[in-house]
A and B are shown apart, each in its own frame.
Chain A
Amino acid sequence: MVKRVLAIVFILIIGLWMAKALDQVPFGEDRMLVGKYYLDHVKEETGAVNAVTAVVVNYRGFDTLGEVTVLFIASTGVAALLWKKRKERSAKTEGSVVLTTGARILLPFIMLFGAYIFIHGHLTPGGGFPGGATIATAFLFLYLTFTLYEVDHKIFEPLEGLAGIGYVTVGLIGLAVGGYFLFDWIWQTWGVGKENIGRLISAGFIPIIYTLIGIKVGTELTGIIDNMIKEPEEGGQ
């Protein structure tokens, strides 16, 4: 009881302090400095219409590379923490016919929508991470619906690694062509799609990198689900 009261008092002090600090930051006011530059130059410098994905992939590509690395380390860490021999599914309840049939019908739609999100990252809201999460949702659906379902590990883990290698390779080609890592060689050197900004074939390497990121995120989150849904055979029940 004393502990909770102390915690509440402590938290209220922190809250007052944060509120005082945030009073200095007026809400809804234009205080863009670099953001203004990004918005003004995003079309001719990257060819993307969606300024957020242009910032994430093109202007601040190192952030995204680090983010993908964090996700990869998390996926590897979950696998290392939960690695046991002879794995078996923990919950083995059969779903109803409505559930399995509904999953069969919905599955291609979820997959298609996920692919749509990451391919059109430079035109519409979304990008590699939401699209990859949507694809992982489709696999989560399969795992929760069918008790015997398991992804093909011989295809899945190499695909994850290849997508990551592809991202770094695109960056290294930029280093060779333009002089720095993650240089947008498709847009700035080749000039592919200069005249159709706002259509699918534009925006340099953003669609390519987002497709790779989408594949990588989808496979990684599916791997995390796959590791978490299993338990060792003898320790169960």
Chain B
Amino acid sequence: MNPYYFASIALILIGFYAILAKRNVLKMLVGLSIMETGVNLLLISVGYVSGKSAPILTEGITPNNAVDPIPQALVLTAIVIGVATTAMALSVVINLYEKYKTLNVEEIRRLRG
């Protein structure tokens, strides 16, 4: 198995584990960010063509020795959306802590009822 694929799958799984098993909301958010990183790494590594360089066509780089530009454009979009969702989630976490004075998901569930 290719190391890039392996690393991206491992990152996605580590993030998923954090979401499933951790009780602290902040740790779950860290897991979400790790998952995003894994997905972005997977997208980039699918677009790689061995032996070719970055798709910036200056000084000796012709269209024949550049990698696929589309996954890089997709990842550029995905990173920004990841940052936006993380910022939203963090402000929700700030509100949660101000309301319940705890970040443990099980306690928050109990407090509500």
Q: Which residues of A contact B (CB under 8 A)?
A: 3-4, 7-8, 10-12, 14-15, 18-19, 22-23, 25, 27-32, 34-36, 38-40, 42-43, 49-52, 54-56, 60, 63-64, 67, 70-71, 73-75, 77-78, 81-82, 123-125, 127, 129, 198, 217, 221, 224, 227-228, 235
Cβ-based interface call for B30 (8 A): no
A27 to B50 Cα, complex, angstroms: 8
* Interface secondary structure of B, over-half rule: helix
B93 CB, nearest partner CB in chain A, Å = 10
Contact partners of B90 in chain A: CB under 8 A? 228
Q: Which residues of B contact A (CB under 8 A)?
A: 1-2, 4-6, 9-10, 12-13, 16-17, 20-21, 42, 45-51, 54-58, 63, 66, 68-70, 72-73, 76-77, 79-81, 83-85, 87-88, 90-92, 94-95, 98
A19 to B46 Cα, complex, angstroms: 13
B84 CB, nearest partner CB in chain A, Å = 3
Q: Are A28 and B48 in contact (CB under 8 A)?
A: yes
A39 to B72 Cα, complex, angstroms: 13
* Interface secondary structure of A, over-half rule: helix
A235 to B98 Cα, complex, angstroms: 8
A216 CB, nearest partner CB in chain B, Å = 11
A40 to B57 Cα, complex, angstroms: 10
Q: Are B91 and A78 in contact (CB under 8 A)?
A: yes
Which one, B4, B17, B51, B77, contacts A7 given CB within 8 A? B17
Residues A81 and B5 in contact in the complex (CB < 8 Å), given A35-B70, A74-B85, A129-B76: no
Closest Cβ neighbor of B72 among chain A residues? A52
Residues A63 and B56 in contact in the complex (CB < 8 Å), given A19-B1, A78-B87: no
A78 to B2 Cα, complex, angstroms: 40
Closest Cβ neighbor of A76 among chain B residues? B88
A-B contact pairs, 11 of them (CB 8 A): A15-B13, A27-B45, A28-B50, A32-B68, A39-B57, A50-B55, A52-B69, A52-B76, A81-B95, A123-B56, A127-B76
A212 to B16 Cα, complex, angstroms: 36
Residues A82 and B95 in contact in the complex (CB < 8 Å), given A11-B20, A50-B56, A198-B58: yes
Residues A7 and B76 in contact in the complex (CB < 8 Å), given A29-B49, A74-B85, A125-B56: no
Contact partners of A32 in chain B: CB under 8 A? 49, 68, 70
Residues A125 and B46 in contact in the complex (CB < 8 Å), given A7-B17, A74-B85, A228-B94: no
